[in-house]
Amino acid sequence: MNTNAFRSSWNCRPRTVVRGLRATGALALVALALLPVRAAENVWLGSLDLSHVRQGWGQAQADKTVTGKPLSIAGQKFEHGVGTHASSTFWVELGGSADRFQAAVGVDDGTTSDKASVTFKLAGDGRTLWESGVMRRGQPAKPVDVEVKGIKSLVLLVGDAGDGTDFDHADWADARFIVSGAKPQAVSAPAEPAVILTPKPGPAPRINGPLIYGCRPGHPFLYRIPTQGERPMMWSADGLPATLKLDPASGIVTGTAPDRGEYEVVFNARNRHGSAKRMFKIVAGDTLALTPTMGWNHWYAHYDRITDKLVREAADVMVSSGMADVGYQYVSIDDCWMNAEKNADPLRVGPLRDAQGNIIPNRHFPDMPALTAYIHAKGLKAGIYTSPGPRTCGGFAGAWQHEAQDAARFATWGFDLLKYDWCSYGEIAEKDPDPELVKFKKPYILMGGLLQQQPRDIVLNLCQYGMGEVWKWGAEVGGQSWRTAGDLGFELNRIFEVALKNAEHRDWQKPGAWNDPDYIQIGLIGNARGMGEPMPCPLTPSEQYAFMSLWCLMASPLFYSGDMGRLDEFTINVLCNPELIEVNQDPLGQCARVVPLGAETFAMVKDMADGSKAIGLFNRSEFPAKVTATWVQLGLKGSQRVRDLWREKELGNMSGEYGADVPRHGGVVVRMWPGP
Ligand code: GLA
């Protein structure tokens, strides 16, 4: 039953001709009298095509909550409306022919937690028309009655009120348009052309990659000098420790890491178009990953379809696409390379371990040492995955009670990185009487120690979704990076929120210790919920640029997780801008500081080792915006030389403030050096 109290006040009366006559002359009177009179009518929001609604969880439902139940806000029931979930965006084309939008909004009673809190907002042709403020569970529905006359594009937005989207069931109850012209149409957000911003690399050599590199003395050393430019190319190095050798034709350095100490090396590259130089400091000691790790991980492209062949293909493409020339290095296998007790694919079912307890890869991985050798031959590194629990998240064999054996196995197979994913370890932790924090740390202390005992460098990526504030202790247990949150694949429409949350932990980040907000998911990726085949990602071109910009400014590990076999030019362009990657790989290792600017705009400011600053200006709103930051906000003084990093273009000297037109859900990134 509809008990909406203010329904009676809504303006549903037919329009009369009389109102239109007052200010018109006799001619107009005649003309108007000949026009058919249209009565204003109600168009329920729920009658529009709700497949256009983009939201953080589930699907928008007509006349029901997001979970399919009757709509109810603080005990008040509603027959009509749209049940959605934060963060939600719904674009409606009104074409100027609607008069009013009316609704009653609130958090649905069906949510199971008091943590539910949302904001509702209406934006019309780039202007905010109405905002609810923060609304929580149990709060009575707020009436909305907004004039939308003349508005062409209306956007209905539900935000997470800044505390994440969990439990945020939101209702546009009794929502309707009062319309006297054409019926409103639900549409997708405006299409954007995939504009390539970065000029193609020139034919002359340009050496990229980190300026500083950590390794452990006496361990195997492998480094492919990331260099753009036409081949053939010849490389040389000054100051290379005697235990290392550089292949001049491939630019790959191999050998044994030197004794503890710092070694200043200069790499040189030459081809028929010119030459280039770059510093490379080798620090032989205890700390690995002195700059954020970069590579590819199979998860969001291939899920439980991963094979040896696909991993080899990724290694091939990392080189052929130019990704390795800007610094991508690790080719990483995620879950599902082991056997499971049960799986739809018979080739992934078999004994989990041999008679000695050694882990057995499934039949899609016939020869792990051959696979890592294939990757290493290209100068790249290999990554693998397991869980401290008995089973991985995908239900495959985990390392529980075989940790030492598995760590040794990964080392002999030749892996250079391990992602250690909590998954079923919860079952073990549950029975453990120790305090919570001790339980969170325990499996990682064990594996961190074991990896340090191996005769090769194996970088440890902790994956436990941020439990126990992992950023405070991830480095102490032997990790080089740690996921700060759950799977980003489920939250691709929230990259700004996820980034802002990740950046809150900036003080804990330093060289060798990185906050990991999860992988770059652009180009072709499979929908994370359905673990589907790779398809074009749901992000707009501007969102993809913003994604990469945020990750570079935060000095996050840069792992692409999309289909390498079908990389297109646009995706390569977003992944491979060497000036953005230089920001990511800067030796200071700083995560940018966030500077709020407007309600939906902010800056990120990252100090660079050379005294410059990398600055991102971001626009989270549904419409293009001019975003301006002053020198005071950015921590700058005097004249600055400004360079647009995506376009690799000098913008001249500026003082006082910098502003840019930033597209919907987009960002611009500049670097500023004290000038002139
Ligand atoms: C978890 C992790 C993901 C991925 C899957 C594999 O969800 O967070 O990154 O490794 O497991 O099952």
Q: Three-state SS string across 92-131, please?
A: EECCCCEEEEEEEEEECCCCCCCCCEEEEEEEECCEEEEE
Atom of ligand 1 nearest to the CA of 519: 9
Q: Is residue 199 part of a domain?
A: no
Q: Which residues contact 52 (CB under 8 A, 6 or more apart)?
A: 90, 91, 186, 187, 188
- Determine the structural domain holding residue 12 and report its residue range: 3-34
Q: What are phi and psi of 113, to 5 degrees?
A: -140, 150
> Quick count: other Cβ atoms within 10 Å of Cβ 350?
16
Atom of ligand 1 nearest to the CA of 486: 8
Which CATH number belongs to the domain containing residue 249 in this structure?
2.60.40.10
579 with 599, same domain? no
18 with 64, same domain? no
Asked which of 584, 610, 628 is the last residue of a domain, the reply is 584
What is the per-residue pLDDT across 550-598, written as a single tens digit (0 to 9) for each?
999 999 999 999 999 999 999 999 999 999 999 999 999 999 999 999 9
Residues with CB under 6 A from ligand 1: 299, 334-335, 392-394, 421, 463, 487
Residue 31 has pLDDT above 60, yes or no: no
CA distance 98 to 93: 10
Q: Which residues contact 305 (CB under 8 A, 6 or more apart)?
A: 336
CA distance 226 to 328: 8
> Quick count: other Cβ atoms within 10 Å of Cβ 199?
11
461 CA to middle of ligand 1, Å?
12
326 with 450, same domain? yes
What is the per-residue pLDDT across 99-114, written as a single tens digit (0 to 9) for each?
999 999 999 999 989 9
Quickly state the pLDDT bin for 21 (edges 50, 70, 90).
very low
Q: Which residues contact 125 (CB under 8 A, 6 or more apart)?
A: 151, 152, 153
Which CATH number belongs to the domain containing residue 520 in this structure?
3.20.20.70
Q: Which of 421, 516, 518, 586 is catalytic?
A: 421
Total number of domains constituting the chain: 5
299 with 393, same domain? yes
CB-CB contact of 603 with 571 (8 Å) = no
487 is catalytic: yes
What is the per-residue pLDDT across 649-674, written as a single tens digit (0 to 9) for each?
999 999 999 999 999 999 999 999 99
Residue 7 has pLDDT above 90, yes or no: no
421 with 491, same domain? yes
Atom of ligand 1 nearest to the CA of 334: 10
463 CA to middle of ligand 1, Å?
8
What is the per-residue pLDDT across 44-100, written as a single tens digit (0 to 9) for each?
999 999 999 988 889 999 999 999 999 999 999 999 999 999 989 999 999 889 999
Q: How many angstroms separate the most distant Cα atoms in the chain?
A: 100
427 CA to middle of ligand 1, Å?
17
81 CA to middle of ligand 1, Å?
36
pTM of this structure: 0.89
Specify the pLDDT at position 23. 40
424 CA to middle of ligand 1, Å?
11
Q: Is residue 196 part of a domain?
A: no
421 is catalytic: yes
Quickly state the pLDDT bin for 37 (edges 50, 70, 90).
low
Q: Is residue 376 part of a domain?
A: yes
Ligand 1 pocket test target in 298, 333, 335, 516 with most atoms within 8 Å of CB = 335
180 with 251, same domain? no
419 with 506, same domain? yes
What is the three-state SS of 157-173? Answer: EEECCCCCCCCCEEEEE
Specify the pLDDT at position 372. 99
What is the per-residue pLDDT across 122-150, written as a single tens digit (0 to 9) for each?
999 988 999 999 999 999 999 999 999 99
Asked which of 187, 215, 232 is the last residue of a domain, the reply is 187
Ligand 1 pocket test target in 386, 392, 463, 467 with most atoms within 8 Å of CB = 463
Q: For the chain, give me the number of helices (H) and strands (E)?
A: 14, 41
